[in-house]
A and B are shown apart, each in its own frame.
Chain A
Amino acid sequence: MQFDVAIVGAGVVGCAIARQLSRYDLRIALIDAAEDVAMGASRANSAIVHAGYDCPPGSVEARMNVLGNALYRQWADELDVPFKRCGSFVIGFGPEDEKVLSDLYDRGVKNGVPGMTLMPGCEARAMEPALSKDVTMALFAATGGITCPYQMTIACAENARENGAQWLLDRPVTAMRRKGDFVVITAGGEDIEARYVVNAAGVFSDEISRMLGDDSFTVRPRKGEYMLLDRKSTCVETVIFQTPSKLGKGILVAPTVDGNMFAGPTAVDMTDKLDTSVTPEGIAQLTAMSKKSVPGIDLRSVITSFAGVRAQPSTGDFIIGVSKAEPRLIQAAGICSPGLTSAPAIAGEIARILRMNGLEMKEKADFNPYRKAIPEFRHMNNQERAALIEKDPRYGRIVCRCETITEGEIVEAIHRGARSLDGVKRRTRAGMGRCQGGFCSPRVMEILSRELNVPMTGLTKFGGNSKLLVGKLKEV
């Protein structure tokens, strides 16, 4: 297989790059070790579109964040991804925090963040009544917002594919070497040739880089744990940060685009890049800290807790540019927070770098920037619902009761690339509600088995060895 550009890593950064490059007449491969896109940090993070006040002025991060934020509306609209500019607060409890808030404000000004206001606690509470009465001052950023990280990733990947990019999933990259004008990438036992490699491998981007001789940075996994609450107890409308610490932006309480609310993340430096386990300590910390911001948070209504791993680069900044060791390796590496916000900007930046480095990039006449989301029965009015069922009766059969997800949506998700229970879940929300798949898992499995023509015993939760069943009765 030969490509012009191979992107290693199908998280939000890799998929946004694939989408951006698919505007041009290029052969593009999107490679990932996992069975689906959005399987790393893009699967489990805070889902925030950051305003950009907390990046160090002058950093790549700051530039990408502010530009990414500005691009989000257009990307979300073209890709039919939920995005809400609900505004964000950083809240302070007393003089020490207030100093931090005014520093953040100054930083925001330097970074070019529009729409910031420093306000006394009472004013903040008037806007967000759920805030603690102990809040003395707050920094409000009108451009702060929320999106859905895996929907954004999936949407970018689908749109890239629609425009000719090829998904090469379930192919862990194990070796890379230079061969003439090409890089030979060994992925899943196969050799893939590409003129350029874009390294968007997140927490593994240092290891990918080293395969082509660039060991100029390392990436450390930093785990963040979260608790997600049932939507009936959602009590905030804005994103609420506490003042940041060395380990990140602090524990926040925020609504999700699906109407739930969450508390998180913790920030624990790890050694294991795949460790997304939840710990009692993490839960205890989330409980204490979220109550400090929002005393009314109803933690009895937690429906699930989970963790994600962010890619913290040793350089302290996003690593974006041509590798000094290998001119055909373009880094989009060490993208920690605010990577989700920055992804559209990083995509543009990578395209610019490729062009500057000699890749011929001719705009396609037939590039289609639009991607439609899977029809969402739950959000339709009754006329729309009736029309959809008329066309395809499977949209009249509710499979996931808690989130009101129809068989039609699940079938569509599978046809678009879901191959596992979690793949269906991320694309449709089936199994994301309060019963967490207790009722619908067996039915989703049946539909997966039927549509993919895979026996029930071959189905997985998320690929690999995550088998859901061990066998048929009487055969085990």
Chain B
Amino acid sequence: MKEIIDIAVIGGGPAGLAAALEARKNAPDKSVLIIERDKELGGILQQCIHNGFGLHFFGEELTGPEYAGRFIAQLEGTGIEVMTDTMVLELSNDRRILAVSAKHGLVEIEAGAVILAMGCRERTRGALNIPGTRPAGVYTAGCAQRLVNMEGFMPGRRVVILGSGDIGLIMARRMTWEGAKVEVVAEIMPYSSGLNRNIVQCLVDNGIPLKFNHTVTNILGRERVEGVTIAEVDPATRQPIPGTEITYECDTLLLSVGLIPENELTQAAGIELDRVTSGAVVDENRQTSIPGVFACGNVLHVHDLVDNVSAEAMLAGRAAATYVSGQAQAAEYRSVSGRNGVRYTVPQRVSKSAEGKQDIYFRVGSAYRPATLLVKCGDETILTRKKQIMTPGEMEKISIDAAKITGDITLEIEEAKAQ
């Protein structure tokens, strides 16, 4: 099967949905196709049955499926084509897509513009080199979430969680509510990578201890997990301190130790990647190093809130619409980058023709309180922002007037003193 499509969106999660809708809205005469590998649209939201989604975007609290449902409902009547149960195998640097599904077989797509919205995957035990045996009962938090919320099964009864990422926190509560005992959440850093509201609502409210500066040093049990040993780490080296080990009897270890944007297609297409975000390098329109290819959502950088994903995806969708309408011009860029405590920025560059407020998203490398952010253009400080606290767990945003961007921009923390 061969298709020619104006705008192809790879991924039908929150990013892909918002991008496709916005693209169609801005280019009503152009064809838009969403390619989704799962059986249904909505991406990871479909397994996030807790609420807390949409406070910013819709001004109300929705569950994950409800949030996705709002966008899926909007597809009706738009003429946006959808292929589910379809996996993209290849993306070329001239925007040709090879996809496959049981229903359509191999599908070759020539796209005028491509929006990358493949999301992210979870870091695994292997990536952390956690010692110990390799029994059943070690799951990433997201995998356990799927088993519980979508398949209706309990992966375990007594649980230790490594990492305080949001999915881990949510699963601590979920497993507790389903009758499991969550013994402890161990976090190797001195701060959580999850949202504060999740720590309160999921752990504190359920009496689950959270141990900072702790990690898993051993997994016990030959066939099924029988115990997990955690130990305190030296904050300077992150190495376990001998003698601080505690072994919890349990049958399950959940891992919530980070998310990694899924950029294998992006990389194979030869698109420039940012080593820190593991996503593409993009401009203010979320255009990658290949003109006509855009990226948004967690495939670009890991977001805390789906609301931000939707907003970012709309930028990409609009830009893709402009691109296929032939109005896009080759751009010259100013670079945007972080230093002195600012780990990364998105976008990483802004075109010289950009106008109005430019929102720059960034994350800091450790906890700062109070924190003063400096935005510099060359040696000149063009903007200062003071905050009570900035932590790596919460994405920050700063708006810069494009008129002030007369050269390369850097974001940094003043007199960076990490706490």
Let me know if B311 is at the binding interface, CB within 8 A: no
Chain B residues whose CB sits within 8 angstroms of the CB of A470 once the complex forms? 154-157, 251
Mask, B134-162, CB within 8 Å of A = 1, is: 11110110110011101111111100000
A-facing residues in B108-134 (Cβ within 8 Å): 121-122, 124-127, 129-134
Task: Give the CA-CA distance A333 to B39 in the complex, in Å.
Answer: 50
Chain B residues whose CB sits within 8 angstroms of the CB of A280 once the complex forms? 131, 217, 240
Chain B residues whose CB sits within 8 angstroms of the CB of A382 once the complex forms? 98, 106
Say whether A439 contacts B156, CB under 8 Å.
no
Q: Which of A95-103, A170-178, A235-243, A383-391 contacts B (4 or more CB under 8 A)?
A: A383-391
Say whether B147 contacts A438, CB under 8 Å.
no
Question: Quick one: closest B residue to A44, CB to CB?
Answer: B134
Say whether B127 contacts A302, CB under 8 Å.
yes
Question: Quick one: closest A residue to B260, CB to CB?
Answer: A434
Let me know if B209 is at the binding interface, CB within 8 A: no
Say whether B87 contacts A401, CB under 8 Å.
yes
- Whether A389 touches B100, Cβ cut-off 8 Å, given contacts A280-B217, A473-B154, is yes
Task: Give the CA-CA distance A441 to B147 in the complex, in Å.
Answer: 9
B99 CB, min distance to chain A CBs, angstroms:
10
Task: Give the CA-CA distance A476 to B129 in the complex, in Å.
Answer: 31
Tell me what chain A mostly uses at the interface: helix, strand, loop, or mixed: mixed
A264 CB, min distance to chain B CBs, angstroms:
13
Let me know if A268 is at the binding interface, CB within 8 A: no
Say whether A469 contacts B102, CB under 8 Å.
no
Task: Give the CA-CA distance A154 to B290 in the complex, in Å.
Answer: 45
Let me know if A276 is at the binding interface, CB within 8 A: yes
Task: Give the CA-CA distance A268 to B389 in the complex, in Å.
Answer: 49
Chain A residues whose CB sits within 8 angstroms of the CB of B100 once the complex forms? 385, 389, 396, 398
Partner of B126, one of A279, A436, A446: A436
Say whether B126 contacts A386, CB under 8 Å.
no
Let me know if B101 is at the binding interface, CB within 8 A: yes
Partner of B121, one of A302, A438, A466, A469: A438
Task: Give the CA-CA distance A436 to B130 in the complex, in Å.
Answer: 14
Chain B residues whose CB sits within 8 angstroms of the CB of A438 once the complex forms? 121-122, 124, 140, 142-143
**How many residues of B sit at the interface, in one of the four size bands?**
35 or more
Tell me what chain B mostly uses at the interface: helix, strand, loop, or mixed: mixed
B-facing residues in A343-400 (Cβ within 8 Å): 382, 385-386, 389-390, 393-398
Chain A residues whose CB sits within 8 angstroms of the CB of B156 once the complex forms? 470
Mask, A275-288, CB within 8 Å of B = 1, is: 11111101100000
- Whether A442 touches B143, Cβ cut-off 8 Å, given contacts A304-B125, A476-B154, A476-B178, is yes
A455 CB, min distance to chain B CBs, angstroms:
10
Say whether A465 contacts B224, CB under 8 Å.
yes
Chain A residues whose CB sits within 8 angstroms of the CB of B222 once the complex forms? 274
Let me know if A460 is at the binding interface, CB within 8 A: yes
Task: Give the CA-CA distance A379 to B380 in the complex, in Å.
Answer: 55
Say whether A302 contacts B126, CB under 8 Å.
yes
Mask, A242-281, CB within 8 Å of B = 1, is: 0000000000000000000000000000000011111110
Q: A393-B105, A401-B37, A438-B142 are in contact. List 19 more A-B contacts (CB 8 A).
A: A232-B264, A274-B222, A302-B127, A303-B127, A304-B125, A389-B105, A396-B102, A397-B101, A397-B102, A398-B89, A436-B124, A436-B125, A441-B143, A442-B146, A442-B150, A456-B153, A457-B153, A468-B137, A470-B157
27 contacts between A and B (CB under 8 A): A232-B267, A275-B133, A277-B218, A278-B129, A278-B131, A278-B132, A302-B126, A382-B106, A394-B102, A396-B100, A396-B106, A397-B101, A398-B89, A402-B264, A434-B124, A436-B125, A438-B121, A438-B124, A438-B143, A456-B153, A460-B223, A462-B136, A467-B224, A470-B154, A471-B153, A473-B154, A474-B178
